[in-house]
Amino acid sequence: MTRTAAGSTVSATEGHERRSIRYHSLRALYRKEMADHVTSKRFIIILILVIAMTIASVYGAVTGIKSAIMNAAEDKNAAFDASYMFLKLFTTGGSSIPSYMSLIALIGPFIGLILGFDSINAEKNNGTLNRLVSQPIYRDSIIIGKFLASSTLIAVMVMSTGIAVGCAGFLASGIQPSGEEIVRVLIYLLYTIIYICFWLAMAMLFSVFTRHAATSALASIALWLFFAIFMSLLAGILANAAYPVNTEYEQAVNALNNYNLKLNLNRISPYYLYSEASSVLMNPATRAINAVSYEQLVGALSSYLPLGQSLLLVWPHLVGLLALSFAAFTISYIGFMRQEVRGT
């Protein structure tokens, strides 16, 4: 049998209609999820938390910078680095208040977890998932729409807080940013968005494979605690077991291998990847992220890294965070597509 021109036209038309239905169904679900998020009480809680974090970080940075300047003016022996002052608004804390980088690294994962821990199992328990599936929409549009809506909300929050910190810091201290500093901040905010979206994908993964929202929330928090706290401890234990450094001889022989193994194990953690990339982007004085030998230091100039060189150091971190986020969402996507949805 040969395919006729009319048959080709019909096939192309059907394909266009299917793509149109998929697009419109995904857009409808995306708008529904955005409306549900914005009108929910948890969004109000997240918004209050983010606003308080922004105000506290700006106040701490401004007071910390002013205190450092005053100390340098009073004590001539005290050195104060006036380079990249705008970046110090994000990296400096004061008055027992952590910096913006520290606060967003702590609170950011919880934003992703809160938005995704009950995205699927709550729909199942409420009996609304079977209603969505019964509609003339593609099933994968449900989970994709939920992820895109939550990711959009995360991107808006992160960019808004970053811009707010920069503007408030400029108005309070008069620090004017350079073009390179603005680009560094924007790239740092992009890393932050991807980092939080990873935790969103992990929360959705637990939501797909667990029956109750409380179980998925506890599992997500436990995973975050493992990566943030216990991963570094485990990496140190494994590195010391493989390359012990208990004696002076062992330190001379195994110190470099011990450090490299510990570093590579820590880089499995998305928390460590994000922290390392943030420190390089927001502190141009950071010139290396691996062990540096004395031979490599000979003839090296003490200066700041330009933006391009900093990006060369941290682009693998971006690829790693993207890969982890994609892997987590892919597993949740496959699990959701294979699950049977029954009416209650």
> Mind listing the pLDDT tens digit for each residue in 200-215?
999 999 999 988 888 9
Q: What pLDDT does 4 receive?
A: 44
Domain contains 139: yes
Range of the domain at 81: 25-338
Residue 19 domain flag: no
Phi, psi for residue 97 in degrees, rounded to 5: -110, 125
**Whole-number pLDDT of residue 188:** 93
Q: Give the predicted TM-score (pTM) of the model.
A: 0.87
Could you say which residues of the chain have pLDDT below 50? 1-2, 4-8, 10, 344
Q: What are the residues whose beta carbons fall under 8 Å from the beta carbon of 318, sequence distance 6 or more?
A: 191, 194, 277
- Number of domains comprising the chain: 1
Q: What is the pLDDT of residue 5?
A: 43
pLDDT confidence of residue 75: 57
Backbone φ and ψ of 290, nearest 5°: -115, 175
Residue 142 domain-assigned (yes or no)? yes
**Looking at the domain assignment, is residue 9 inside a domain?**
no
Distance of CA 318 to the CA centre of its chain: 10
Is 20 within the bounds of a domain? no
Rg over CA atoms, the chain: 25
Q: Indicate whether 296 belongs to any domain.
A: yes
Note whether residue 309 is domain-resident: yes
- Token pair 């109000």 is found at 44
113: tokens are 């977890």
* Domain contains 12: no
